Amino acid sequence: MTSDATAFDASTPLARELADLSQRRRQLATREYPLPSSPRVLTVANQKGGVGKTTTTVNLAAALARNGARVLVIDLDPQGNASTALGVEHRGEQQSVYDVLIRDEPMVDVVQQSPESENLFCLPATIHLAGAEIELVPMVAREQRLRGALDRYLAAMDEAGTPFHYVLIDCPPSLGLLTINAFVAAREVLIPIQCEYYALEGLSQLLNNIGLIERHLNPTLAVSTILLTMYDGRTRLAFQVAEDVRAHFPAETLRAVIPRSVRISEAPSYGQTVISFDPSSPGSVSYLEAAAEIADRGAPRGN
Ligand SMILES: Nc1ncnc2c1ncn2[C@@H]1O[C@H](COP(=O)(O)OP(=O)(O)OP(=O)(O)O)[C@@H](O)[C@H]1O
Ligand SMILES: [Mg+2]
C-alpha cells in the first residue's frame, strides 16, 4: 500500500486531513523565511499557566533556526522547561540566567548551543532563578537588568560577525519582576492563547500590564503576535474561541493554528522540539507555518 494520502478514499475525514497535511508540507518546502535586518526580540507571555508558552517558544525558535535564522532562547522561568526541551544543561550548579541578572555575569559566558541546531542557542534557567524574583527587588534598575545584558550581548555578537536574528524569551506564568524584565528587554510580545473556555479571562489584565510597561518603562513595546494553541478541531468550543480571538485581534492573530497533538507534548521528554522529533507531524508543520508568518510580517513599526 502506498503512503501517499491522496491514494486513500478522499471522502473520509482522516484521508482529507492527510492530503491536506502533505499539501501544506509541499507549500512549506518552497516558503521563504526572510531574515530581519536587526535582531527581533519577542517575549512570549501569558500569566495563565500551561497555555503553551514554553512549547511555543522552543518550537518557533527551532523552526526559525531550521530556516536559516540565528536564534537565542532566553529561559526566564525557574521551572527550566525551555532549557529541557532544547537539550541544554541546566542543573543547579550550572551558570544560568540567574547569574546574568543578579551577578552581572556576561551572557557570552553562559549562553549554550542547543544540540538541536547549530543556529539555536539558549540562556538556560536553573532552580536558583526562583530566588531572583525577591533578590531583584532592592537592586538598582531592577526592571532593566535583562535588557542591559542582552543589548551588550547582541552588540558583541554583531561585532563578532555572528549576529542574532531572533531572541525569544520564555516567561513564567506570573507578572512579577522576571516577566517585567522580559517586557523591558523586548520590542514585541507574542501571546499564546489556549483554545478553551477561560482563554480570554485574564487577557485584559495582561494587556493592561503591557500598556503600563509601554508607558513607563519601554515605549517601543507592542503586542505583535497572537498564536492559538492546543486547538481541537473536533470541538465547537475551540472554533468559537478562535473566532472570538480573531474578532478582537484581527491584525495580530496568526493564520496558523497549533493543533492539540501528542507528538508536541512527547518531544520535550527526548530533549527535543517537535521540529526535530517528528518533522512531518501536524504539530511540526503548524509551528513551521507560524514561524514563516512571523518572519514574513517582520517587526512592527518598521523595525
Ligand atoms: N499543541 C499541544 N498539544 C498537546 N500538548 C501540548 C501542546 N502544547 C503544549 N502542550 C502540553 O501542555 C503542557 C503545557 O504546555 P507548556 O509547558 O508549553 O505551557 P506553559 O504556558 O509554558 O506552562 P507554564 O505556565 O507552566 O510555564 C505541557 O505538558 C505541554 O507538553
Ligand atoms: Mg512554561
Closest CA to 36 of 60, 70, 85: 70
Give residue-wise pLDDT tens across range 107-164: 999 999 999 999 999 999 999 999 999 999 999 999 999 999 999 999 999 999 999 9
Residue 30's CB: how many other CB atoms inside 10 A? 6
Sort strands 253-259 and 222-231 into parallel, antiparallel or unpaired.
Answer: parallel
What pLDDT, in 10s, does the model give residues 79-105?
999 999 999 999 988 999 999 999 999
Q: How far is the CA of 118 from the centre of ligand 2 (A)?
A: 24
Q: Is 190 in the pocket of ligand 1 (CB under 6 A)?
A: no
Q: What is d(CA 300, CA 80) in angstroms, rounded to the nearest whole number?
A: 29
pTM of full prediction above 0.85: yes
Distance in Å, CA 5 to ligand 2 centroid: 35
| Residue located nearest, by CA, to atom 5 of ligand 1 | 265
Rounded Cα distance, 175 and 267, in Å: 28
Residue with cell 520535550: 268
Beta strands of the chain (E only): which ranges? 40-44, 71-75, 112-113, 120-123, 166-170, 188-194, 222-231, 253-259
Name which residue sits closest to atom 25 of ligand 1, judged by CA.
Answer: 49
Mean pLDDT calculated for residue range 4-25: 74
Spatial distance between the Cα atoms of 229 and 60, rounded to a whole number of angstroms:
12
Query: Does residue 265's CB lie within 6 angstroms of at least one atom of ligand 1?
Result: yes
Give, for ligand 1, the residue of 81, 265, 273 to mutate: max count of ligand atoms closer than 8 Å to Cβ. Answer: 265
Residue 35: per-residue pLDDT? 96
Please give the single-letter amino acid code of residue 139: M
Percent of the chain topping pLDDT 70? 95
Res 302 pLDDT > 80: no
**Torsion sign over Cα 221, 47, 123, 103:** positive
Closest ligand 1 atom, CA of 230? 1
Residue 9 has pLDDT above 80, yes or no: no
Q: Determine contact, residues 252/207, Cβ cutoff 8 Å.
A: no
The mean per-residue pLDDT over the stretch 58-65 comes to 98
Residue 77 phi, psi (nearest 5):
-115, 120
What's the pLDDT score for residue 301?
46
Which is higher by pLDDT, 32 or 57? Answer: 57
Confidence category of residue 5, pLDDT binned at 50, 70, 90: very low
**CA-based nearest residue to 303, from 33, 40, 7, 120:** 40
Nearest CA to ligand 1 atom 30: 265
- Can you tell me the distance from the alpha carbon of 94 to that of 299, in angstroms, rounded to the nearest whole number? 34
What domains can you pick out in the chain, each with its CATH number? Answer: 33-296 (3.40.50.300)
From 199, 181, 270, select the one nearest 239 (Cα to Cα): 199
Contact between 164 and 39 (Cβ < 8 Å): yes
| Residue showing cell 557570552 | 108
CA pair distance 71, 50, nearest whole angstrom: 24
Which atom of ligand 1 lies closest to the CA of 229?
1
- Mutation probe of ligand 1 site: the residue of 46, 47, 55 with most atoms within 8 A of C-beta: 55
Q: Looking at the CA of residue 55, tell me the nearest atom of ligand 1.
A: 18
Residues forming beta bridges with residue 168, ordered by sequence position? 42, 73
pLDDT at 299 over 80: no
Contact call for residues 267 and 277 (beta carbons, < 8 A): yes
Q: Give the distance (Å) from ligand 2 centre to CA of residue 45.
A: 9
CA distance 147 to 125: 17
DSSP tag of 33: -
pLDDT band at 6 (very low <50, low <70, confident <90, very high): very low
**Strand order, beta sheet including 71-75:** 112-113, 120-123, 71-75, 166-170, 40-44, 188-194, 222-231, 253-259
